[in-house]
Amino acid sequence: MRKLNKYFYIVVFLILVFLPASFSEAALSCSITTASACTGTVLLRMSGSINAHAELPSQATSVYDNNVVCCSGVLGLGNSCAASNKVIFSRMSGVTNAHVEKNSENNPNYTENACISSIFAGDEITVGYQANNCTGYDTTLFSMGNTPTNSMVGSPSSYVNKVCAKIFSQSITLNLSANSIGFGNLSSALLRYATDTGAGSSSEVEAYNVTVNTNAPSGYILMFRGDSLSSNSNVITPIGGTNQTPATGTKAYGIRAVASGGSGAVSSPYDGSGFAYDANSENFATLGQASSGDGVTTTYSIRSVASIDDLLNPGAYLTSMIYVVTANF
């Protein structure tokens, strides 16, 4: 009786997707313009460019239309004093026809507040008062005739006393170097390592890169999820949560990573010389993390391995992996 050869050849593909992360826009920028020309957010209205009274942005007195503090450049910018993330930049004697004082004052006659706000809890808003310029801040909102209280207002160049502001918008980006990879033909006599060309390799090579960049002070967590490679009811067994190199002739699927640049580091069990895989379609596993954000990109070079036994059914074996990154704002 002739002995059957049980070396099946299987083409395996891995489809990669990622959820794009949010990012910050440019620095806060403010200027004095007309209400009709302002395409950003109005923070304050003034009756003139010098020796002027102030009005809250919620008001609509026509004489205040020609000198508004108009700001832009930051996503989510607002003027709401009811927002959870806001800073008072001026206390006012009324909603209109008002004198102003610093936010550090507590004059009982100054009961109205003018605020700068953000819809993002992670944005750090800072307001300050400086003589001559707003060095160290993003922009000058307006100037005060005298300080700390009972002041008229004017354009940034009108008075020596400047009202300054800046917003530090925390940001994070995530990018993937390939959308699909393949292992080529699998057999029970060979361990296969994925490549981004889909040709497959018998030696370990980099399959694709995941890059992460953030300036969030507390860093981030990089996670992934996805089932193991499968074809209908046939599943290539995931290696699990212990870093190891699968033996030739066994069913196994896993990944590992090497980090370079930035403050990011690969998390256990994906940081060893072998492979692991303890995620599925419902549960995320942590691939990497950073305890602080330095604004420098970390590249996670991903290696993938797959092997089969000589009883596994031939066919196309597929899976999808989703990568997400969460900033610790």
User: pLDDT tens per residue, the chain (329 residues)?
Assistant: 333 333 344 455 555 555 544 444 458 999 999 999 999 999 999 999 999 999 999 999 999 999 999 999 998 999 999 999 999 999 999 999 999 999 999 899 999 999 999 998 878 999 999 999 999 999 999 999 999 999 999 999 999 999 999 998 878 889 999 888 888 878 788 888 888 877 788 888 888 999 999 988 889 999 999 999 988 888 999 999 999 999 988 899 999 999 999 999 999 999 999 999 999 999 999 999 999 888 899 999 999 999 888 877 777 888 999 999 988 86
Measure CA of the first residue to CA of the last residue in the chain; give whole Å: 69
Tell whether omega for the bond before 156 is within 30 degrees of 0, i.e. cis.
no
Place of tokens 């593909």: 13
**Residue 65 located in a structural domain:** yes
User: Do 211 and 228 fall into the same domain?
Assistant: yes
User: Do 154 and 189 fall into the same domain?
Assistant: no
In whole angstroms, give the CA distance from residue 286 to residue 267: 7
Which pLDDT value is given to residue 162?
Answer: 98
**Residue 4 located in a structural domain:** no
User: Do 205 and 141 fall into the same domain?
Assistant: no
**Residue 52 located in a structural domain:** yes
Q: Which domain holds residue 280?
A: 10-23+172-327
User: Do 105 and 41 fall into the same domain?
Assistant: yes
In whole angstroms, give the CA distance from residue 47 to residue 56: 11
User: Do 184 and 128 fall into the same domain?
Assistant: no
In whole angstroms, give the CA distance from residue 320 to residue 282: 12
In whole angstroms, give the CA distance from residue 299 to residue 261: 6
Total number of domains constituting the chain: 2
User: Do 177 and 268 fall into the same domain?
Assistant: yes
Which pLDDT value is given to residue 16?
Answer: 56
**Residue 3 located in a structural domain:** no
User: Do 115 and 15 fall into the same domain?
Assistant: no
Residue that is last in its domain, among 109, 135, 168: 168
Is the pTM higher than 0.85?
Answer: no
User: Do 111 and 178 fall into the same domain?
Assistant: no
Tokens at 190, concatenated: 């060979």
Phi, psi of 64 (to 5 degrees): -95, 0
Tokens at 42, concatenated: 């109005």
Which pLDDT value is given to residue 21?
Answer: 46
Residue that is last in its domain, among 122, 145, 168: 168
User: Do 320 and 177 fall into the same domain?
Assistant: yes
Q: Return the beta strands (E) in 145-186 as ranges.
A: 153-154, 161-168, 172-176, 180-186
User: Do 176 and 304 fall into the same domain?
Assistant: yes
Residue that is last in its domain, among 168, 199, 232: 168
Tell whether omega for the bond before 269 is within 30 degrees of 0, i.e. cis.
yes
User: Do 163 and 185 fall into the same domain?
Assistant: no
In whole angstroms, give the CA distance from residue 213 to residue 68: 37
